């Protein structure tokens, strides 16, 4: 039986509280959401934190730690911490979670890009919190910075703490960035790639583009890598289903889409995880357990984290 690693990206830094009443914000809400997603079949949870009062993306280490500890007391799910952070954070702030928690897995953004969320603003008449409109609007003039220097430094930190980088690829040129980092001895194989489609500024979420990214990665990096896909917005599940058919892994979650069907807001992350599990089962693919995901990805183990 083949296995799929399902990742739940619990809250992210793209959506804001006005967009849905179901966006988890406090450490308790985040931990509850992780545990629900785990019970639904997720082996990995991708973690961002937010200010508990306003829902604004945060880099406060005590929030990350609280979530990590609350989750660990309940289940053995793999936690993948963001080093993408939120759109206004410095690179130093973004990477600080790695030395602090020494996690098994952390996101690693493989290039700079325009990260446009400003087109969402006109969809809302009034925002619940003051920060939201400006946070989204300022992305019209914003580049998400992941220079070669930043990438070299993030790699060094992750290497020091035995944290595996999950390589976020938003466009095909980033595959070449990864190839360079490997060639330069900065990144070590075996690699784990997350193809992120559908961000305004990155590659659109189509079957052809996913296939192109996958082929480009094989050409540049060889066959021996593990990969997963996530897509922003309405393409989320279609891209996940395509990845299942291609033998890849799948990320869902409220970070990427707020919906669980046409016009239907997801009430929690688990709803989206359940949908992937259903499709996988029809294809005779089983969701990997957290322990199986650790083996597939070659992670150091939950006994070696610092939380």
Q: Does 228 bind Zn ion (CB under 5 A)?
A: no
| CA angle, residues 259, 169, 220, in degrees to nearest 5 | 140
Instruction: Report the nearest approach of ligand KMH to the CB of residue 245 (Å).
Output: 25
Q: How far is the CB of 185 from Zn ion (least distance, A)?
A: 27
Nearer to ligand KMH, 168 or 271 (CB): 168
- Give the CA distances from residue 175 to residues 32, 61, 94, 148, in Å, rounded to whole numbers and listed in that order: 35, 31, 22, 13
Member of 18, 56, 82, 146 binding Zn ion (CB under 5 A): 82
CA gyration radius, the chain: 18
Residue nearest to Zn ion (CB): 82
The option from Zn ion, ligand KMH, none interacting with 168 (CB < 5 to 8 A, set by class) reads ligand KMH
Q: Which two tokens stand for residue 17?
A: 């509280």
Specify the residue, 115 or 192, whose C-beta has the smaller distance to ligand KMH.
Answer: 115
CB of 292 to ligand KMH, least distance (A): 23
Q: In angstroms, what is the minimal distance from the CB of 284 to ligand KMH?
A: 31
Site residues, ligand KMH (CB under 6 A): 12-13, 82-87, 107, 109, 115, 144, 168
CA distances to 96, 97, 138, 257 from 158, rounded to whole Å, are 10, 10, 30, 28
Given ligand KMH, Zn ion, none, residue 142, with its beta carbon under 5 to 8 Å by kind, binds none
Query: Do 72 and 132 form a contact (C-beta atoms < 8 A)?
Result: no
Indicate the pairing of strand 78-81 with strand 105-109: parallel
User: Among residues 25 and 179, whose Cβ is nearest to Zn ion?
Assistant: 25
Cα–Cα distance between 298 and 261 in angstroms, integer?
34
């Amino acid at each position: 039986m083949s296995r799929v690693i399902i990742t739940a990206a619990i809250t992210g830094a793209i959506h804001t509280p006005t967009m849905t009443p179901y966006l988890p914000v406090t450490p308790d809400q985040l931990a509850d959401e992780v545990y629900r997603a785990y019970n639904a079949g997720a082996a990995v949870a991708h973690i961002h934190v937010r200010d508990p009062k306003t829902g604004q993306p945060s880099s406060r280490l005590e929030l990350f730690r609280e979530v990590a500890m609350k989750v660990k007391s309940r289940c053995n799910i793999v936690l993948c911490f963001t080093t993408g952070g939120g759109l206004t954070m410095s690179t130093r702030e973004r990477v600080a979670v790695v030395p602090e928690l020494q996690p098994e897995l952390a996101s690693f953004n493989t290039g700079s890009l325009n990260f446009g969320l400003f087109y969402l603003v006109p969809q809302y008449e009034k925002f619940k919190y003051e920060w939201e409109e400006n946070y989204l609007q300022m992305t019209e003039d914003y580049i998400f910075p992941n220079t070669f220097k930043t990438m070299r430094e993030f790699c060094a930190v992750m290497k020091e703490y035995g944290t595996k980088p999950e390589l976020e690829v938003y466009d095909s040129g980033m595959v070449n960035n990864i190839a360079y980092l490997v060639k330069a001895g900065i990144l070590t194989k075996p690699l784990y790639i997350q193809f992120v489609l559908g961000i305004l500024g990155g590659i659109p979420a189509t079957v052809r583009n996913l296939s192109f990214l996958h082929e480009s990665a094989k050409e540049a990096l060889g066959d021996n890598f593990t990969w997963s896909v996530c897509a922003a917005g309405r393409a989320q599940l279609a891209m996940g289903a395509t990845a299942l058919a291609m033998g890849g892994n799948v990320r869902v979650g409220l970070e990427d889409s707020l919906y669980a069907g046409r016009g239907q807001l997801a009430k929690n992350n688990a709803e989206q995880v359940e949908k992937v599990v259903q499709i996988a089962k029809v294809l005779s693919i089983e969701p990997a357990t957290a322990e199986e995901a650790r083996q597939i990805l070659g992670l150091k183990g939950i006994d070696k984290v610092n939380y």
